Chain A
């Protein structure tokens, strides 16, 4: 391909991909119509035609983007280079095109995640504005239901993208590798997300869907066509999740630097590993459960139709078998960020490193055994509720180990409070709130009151914000100077934090309060007799404040990336190996093997080092720890 063609607008992967998606959808529609004619059905029927078109569109996008090119060459018997070249090696086009560099892919995931987050947040602000007053004012019930359902699934999609961003960017850097084990698979897994997002958002143009993100039949069998776009979109980004997880696991097992035993890995890698084990093995179940509903709709099957011998509760088991472990996918990496950053800002080792590492695996493992706590009122066998109550309460134990270890790290430390640390501390307190509102849901007798109320909404917003949003923001602020070479604006960062933290507390506590008093989930209007209008107004205002704070965040990032103060190489004096590299980090990171000569978190152990980059790139030894002024 000559340079001119390369640099043309059409050659940018996202542009080509979207063009191909449109054409592929049309082709798919035509194909389905032809098949229908051939089997003697009328050519047009909205549902099968659009589903076929949408599926073909996804495949066409992937092909058109160019991410399959190397693999197609291999199938054809041609040679491909050992180290694949990015399709656009420089400039802003690089980030909109196929790149095989895990850092670029990480940023692609991250930026996509942020855009998606603002979209889902916008949906929330719209229906929260409606909920500020008890009765319907400007939304129809159907539109409310669609916006609410989309808010849920688009947020989940955004969180998975953000988790992908953190894992992809950080894991190779933290283990001293030059990239992930499978760079082409990495690119493929990222690009699956773009057509998936198109599908999800397109559901709005197909009548939306009113089922909530959980898509329970029989309602989802009845729902408008938009629900099919929802199912297909989730299927597609689910595949991305599985493939990304595979990459992380193999990379972690095979590409650690010499000297880095498992218990010398930075703690974030343990979190990424546990997360990926879940993603790799559980995601299939949501694909399956949605696929079965798609078949019920498309082919008239009766799997979940009890009037014809099916069982709607079966769907719930299949669905929640993934969707519960999924929430641990959402939070484990965030908790890993907290564990990773605390030692840096307390100048103390991570307390009980091995216990923290194993607690991530324990949460992942136990998390597979708790799914039916979402189904205590579902009508499944009554006695089944008891073992699931026990297993759910058990998850509190490894989670508690993390909290106590974090407190142990802070205790007797030497704390500083720049923006990343503020978000870490905020994350801890919010995740604590969310986590503590767990056991009350896990206990069946109290769950009977709380299920399907805003108390649950408060619980999961707190765990999501504390386990994902705040740590994700902390990670971005923390690694920003290394990734861009410039420092973010500290005052704007602190402003972001001091608006978002109290706003979030108001939102979460408000949600829990109204839920206890009788506010159900997923309702467009509520009874004024409940006496909760005030609280609802506060929740809405808090939502706007959070949105405002996040806008300050984005402005800070965009401005600082271009005009921020040039950052020193290791402003946080972290022991982690990536901080020994120049900022921004060069392609292939370390440029050769590095050697691990000590423990990752030996702050305070004079003269100790974690890694040795060889040659002139020595890590400075740990600052001698002197009990200056002694223990007062």
Chain B
């Protein structure tokens, strides 16, 4: 710190009832050759000190911290009222004189008082102002209130924006009710916490900036244990509450209804099949009556798939295997309309396209549909073959018009020569076609991958398989 010429004599008031303290201090201060310090008074109690503040107008008041006769709190209360440029040093000689308290909110070692005095007496650039405890508290309060206001405004704005935005698709199931409420609660919590942290950050960035030319550090605040405990316990309570809510709602949305409508869902790469055991129906569309719980019993023929209709809000992975791998999903559609189920677990090449219509109709319309479906199976074996080929997902990979898809086209395949991937050729007779259906991996056509699910025909009867073969034979 560069030396600046001394402008004024520094006037010091000493407050202590102990004569030795006062004399010693005076000698120390007035003995300094480098500054012009003038002790303007030595008083021994608070009243005299307050009076001296007015009459002697000191620049610095040195108060004996250990002096029981000087009630320093009382003195400070008076001192704080004042507005003059004044500093107070509370000096304690206890504890080996290791600590002095300077009334501008700093702690320093006694040995550092010297440096501080030097800096104080010489510096003209630093503006000293009386910062009373009250003033300090007032300033802190101002920051808290302004920041809280900013956080409040940000919270209100974001909650408002989130409420107005249509973030979720239309709700079409009874399960969606409590789930969407939970979504709403989460969105509000997110909005508030985001506004809280970002608001405080923005306030700090705008207000607590280093002023140009100021090379000094900020206040030495190491922490606050009360705050730490507070902001650990409150979030802990909040997350436990949210978890409890979540568990309750999970219970609500999975509650079984003994009168549920059972539908078997068979997922394959890359198609869906729905069976209604009550009526022995098979469908490639999921038709459900409104306001009745549907119990979906789901199994895969090959890899893991997942059943998801966004409007229903619930999802369940579908596992491959036997009956022990069957998984259930209960959903109660309550809004008539046409939706789509789309596979929600990566399942290979055509995962993106693995979808099927989901149609929610009234109970009467559903009964009509059931009746129609029972008549929908054709009479003619070849037509029935085509019907099964559609239902069991064959046509997802085999075309009937000559286009090679994931699998070879069926057009013209019967009794023709087929080149296999091991270089041999076979004639595609009925035996070949039968084996291709029930044991797909045995012989792979050259140029195609071994992707046909091994169990895809597991649910088919021999009659159905024969009819599919008839259909294939019919395609020239």
Interface residues of A (CB under 8 A from B): 141-142, 145, 210-212, 214, 216, 218-219, 222, 306-307, 312-313, 346-349, 351-355, 377-379, 382, 385-386, 389-390, 393-394, 396-397, 400-401, 403-405, 407-408, 410-417, 425, 428-429, 432-433, 436-437, 439-440, 442-446, 448-449, 451-453, 513, 516-518, 520-527, 529, 602-607, 622-632
How many angstroms from the CA of A482 to the CA of B106 in the assembled complex? 33
The one of B178, B216, B221, B314 in contact with A623, judged by C-beta atoms closer than 8 angstroms, is: B216
The one of B116, B136, B204, B325 in contact with A631, judged by C-beta atoms closer than 8 angstroms, is: B136
A391 to chain B, nearest CB (A): 9
Interface residues of B (CB under 8 A from A): 104-106, 108-109, 112, 116, 119, 126-127, 129, 131, 135-136, 139-140, 143, 167-169, 178-179, 182-183, 186-187, 189-190, 193-194, 197-198, 200-201, 204-205, 208-211, 214-224, 227-228, 231-232, 235-236, 239-240, 242-243, 245-247, 249-250, 253-254, 302-304, 306, 308, 310, 313-322, 324-325, 327, 340, 342-353, 355, 451, 454-455
How many angstroms from the CA of A306 to the CA of B346 in the assembled complex? 18
- Report chain B residues within 8 Å CB of A397: 232, 235-236, 239
A167 to chain B, nearest CB (A): 26
- Report chain A residues within 8 Å CB of B340: 527, 529
The one of A414, A433, A527 in contact with B210, judged by C-beta atoms closer than 8 angstroms, is: A414
- Report chain B residues within 8 Å CB of A628: 126-127, 211, 214, 216
The answer to whether A449 touches B218 (Cβ under 8 A) is: no
The answer to whether A216 touches B304 (Cβ under 8 A) is: yes
Name the residue of chain B whose CB is nearest to the CB of A433: B194
The answer to whether A407 touches B319 (Cβ under 8 A) is: no
The answer to whether B315 touches A306 (Cβ under 8 A) is: no
How many angstroms from the CA of A446 to the CA of B318 in the assembled complex? 19
Contact of A523 with B219 at beta-carbon distance under 8 Å, contacts A401-B232, A414-B214, A452-B345 already known: no
The one of A348, A385, A443, A627 in contact with B221, judged by C-beta atoms closer than 8 angstroms, is: A348
- Report chain A residues within 8 Å CB of B178: 445
The answer to whether B304 touches A446 (Cβ under 8 A) is: no
How many angstroms from the CA of A386 to the CA of B189 in the assembled complex? 21
- Report chain B residues within 8 Å CB of A437: 190
How many angstroms from the CA of A81 to the CA of B227 in the assembled complex? 53
How many angstroms from the CA of A520 to the CA of B455 in the assembled complex? 27
- Report chain B residues within 8 Å CB of A389: 243, 246-247
How many angstroms from the CA of A354 to the CA of B228 in the assembled complex? 11
The answer to whether A625 touches B106 (Cβ under 8 A) is: yes
The one of B131, B169, B310, B352 in contact with A524, judged by C-beta atoms closer than 8 angstroms, is: B352
The answer to whether A415 touches B167 (Cβ under 8 A) is: no
- Report chain A residues within 8 Å CB of B348: 145, 210, 219, 222
Contact of A439 with B204 at beta-carbon distance under 8 Å, contacts A306-B322, A449-B313, A631-B131 already known: no
Contact of A312 with B223 at beta-carbon distance under 8 Å, contacts A145-B349, A396-B235, A628-B127 already known: no
- Report chain A residues within 8 Å CB of B198: 429, 432
- Report chain A residues within 8 Å CB of B455: 307
The answer to whether A218 touches B167 (Cβ under 8 A) is: no
The answer to whether A386 touches B250 (Cβ under 8 A) is: yes
Chain B, interface SS category = mixed
How many angstroms from the CA of A403 to the CA of B245 in the assembled complex? 25
The answer to whether A408 touches B223 (Cβ under 8 A) is: yes
Contact of A416 with B211 at beta-carbon distance under 8 Å, contacts A429-B198, A518-B310 already known: no
How many angstroms from the CA of A524 to the CA of B314 in the assembled complex? 23
Contact of A513 with B451 at beta-carbon distance under 8 Å, contacts A393-B239, A520-B344, A631-B139 already known: no
Name the residue of chain A whose CB is nearest to the CB of B138: A631
The answer to whether A445 touches B182 (Cβ under 8 A) is: yes
The answer to whether A312 touches B210 (Cβ under 8 A) is: no
B353 to chain A, nearest CB (A): 7
The answer to whether B349 touches A604 (Cβ under 8 A) is: no
- Report chain A residues within 8 Å CB of B143: 411-412
The one of A218, A377, A428 in contact with B197, judged by C-beta atoms closer than 8 angstroms, is: A428
Name the residue of chain B whose CB is nearest to the CB of A390: B243
The answer to whether B346 touches A216 (Cβ under 8 A) is: yes
Q: Pull 12 A–B residue pairs with CB atoms less than 8 Å apart, ordered by A.
A: A218-B303, A306-B320, A407-B204, A412-B219, A414-B210, A429-B201, A439-B186, A440-B187, A443-B245, A444-B246, A630-B129, A631-B131
The answer to whether A445 touches B235 (Cβ under 8 A) is: no
How many angstroms from the CA of A603 to the CA of B210 in the assembled complex? 14
A484 to chain B, nearest CB (A): 26
Name the residue of chain A whose CB is nearest to the CB of B310: A518
How many angstroms from the CA of A149 to the CA of B394 in the assembled complex? 28
How many angstroms from the CA of A585 to the CA of B280 in the assembled complex? 79
The answer to whether B352 touches A347 (Cβ under 8 A) is: no
How many angstroms from the CA of A525 to the CA of B208 in the assembled complex? 49
How many angstroms from the CA of A626 to the CA of B218 in the assembled complex? 8
- Report chain A residues within 8 Å CB of B228: 352, 355, 401
How many angstroms from the CA of A517 to the CA of B104 in the assembled complex? 57
The answer to whether A347 touches B182 (Cβ under 8 A) is: no
- Report chain B residues within 8 Å CB of A214: 346
How many angstroms from the CA of A419 to the CA of B86 in the assembled complex? 40
- Report chain B residues within 8 Å CB of A439: 186, 189, 239, 242
B379 to chain A, nearest CB (A): 35
The answer to whether A603 touches B220 (Cβ under 8 A) is: yes
How many angstroms from the CA of A529 to the CA of B337 in the assembled complex? 14
The answer to whether B219 touches A379 (Cβ under 8 A) is: no
A421 to chain B, nearest CB (A): 10
How many angstroms from the CA of A622 to the CA of B183 in the assembled complex? 50
The answer to whether B205 touches A415 (Cβ under 8 A) is: yes
The one of A411, A446, A513, A606 in contact with B204, judged by C-beta atoms closer than 8 angstroms, is: A411
Contact of A523 with B235 at beta-carbon distance under 8 Å, contacts A352-B223, A414-B217 already known: no
The answer to whether A451 touches B247 (Cβ under 8 A) is: no
Contact of A407 with B250 at beta-carbon distance under 8 Å, contacts A606-B108, A623-B215 already known: no
The answer to whether A604 touches B197 (Cβ under 8 A) is: no
How many angstroms from the CA of A248 to the CA of B190 in the assembled complex? 36
How many angstroms from the CA of A249 to the CA of B247 in the assembled complex? 39
The answer to whether A407 touches B201 (Cβ under 8 A) is: yes
Name the residue of chain A whose CB is nearest to the CB of B198: A429
- Report chain A residues within 8 Å CB of B317: 377-379
The answer to whether B220 touches A604 (Cβ under 8 A) is: yes
B358 to chain A, nearest CB (A): 13
The one of B169, B200, B220, B319 in contact with A349, judged by C-beta atoms closer than 8 angstroms, is: B220
- Report chain B residues within 8 Å CB of A513: 167
Interface hub of A444, A604, A626 (most chain B Cβ within 10 A): A626
The answer to whether B219 touches A607 (Cβ under 8 A) is: no
- Report chain A residues within 8 Å CB of B182: 443, 445-446
How many angstroms from the CA of A429 to the CA of B205 in the assembled complex? 13
The answer to whether A452 touches B168 (Cβ under 8 A) is: no
- Additional A-B contacts beyond A432-B194, A445-B249 (16; CB < 8 A): A141-B349, A348-B221, A349-B221, A377-B315, A379-B319, A389-B243, A393-B243, A394-B239, A408-B223, A451-B344, A516-B167, A602-B220, A625-B216, A626-B216, A627-B105, A630-B104
How many angstroms from the CA of A389 to the CA of B186 in the assembled complex? 15
Name the residue of chain A whose CB is nearest to the CB of B302: A218
How many angstroms from the CA of A629 to the CA of B214 in the assembled complex? 11
How many angstroms from the CA of A386 to the CA of B250 in the assembled complex? 9
- Report chain A residues within 8 Å CB of B129: 629-630
- Report chain B residues within 8 Å CB of A444: 246-247, 250
How many angstroms from the CA of A628 to the CA of B124 in the assembled complex? 12
B239 to chain A, nearest CB (A): 4
The answer to whether B108 touches A452 (Cβ under 8 A) is: no
How many angstroms from the CA of A214 to the CA of B304 in the assembled complex? 13
A511 to chain B, nearest CB (A): 13
How many angstroms from the CA of A270 to the CA of B130 in the assembled complex? 41
- Report chain A residues within 8 Å CB of B254: 382
How many angstroms from the CA of A354 to the CA of B235 in the assembled complex? 19
The answer to whether B322 touches A307 (Cβ under 8 A) is: yes
The answer to whether A404 touches B126 (Cβ under 8 A) is: no
Interface hub of B108, B189, B240, B345 (most chain A Cβ within 10 A): B345
- Report chain B residues within 8 Å CB of A385: 250
The one of A312, A425, A607 in contact with B304, judged by C-beta atoms closer than 8 angstroms, is: A312
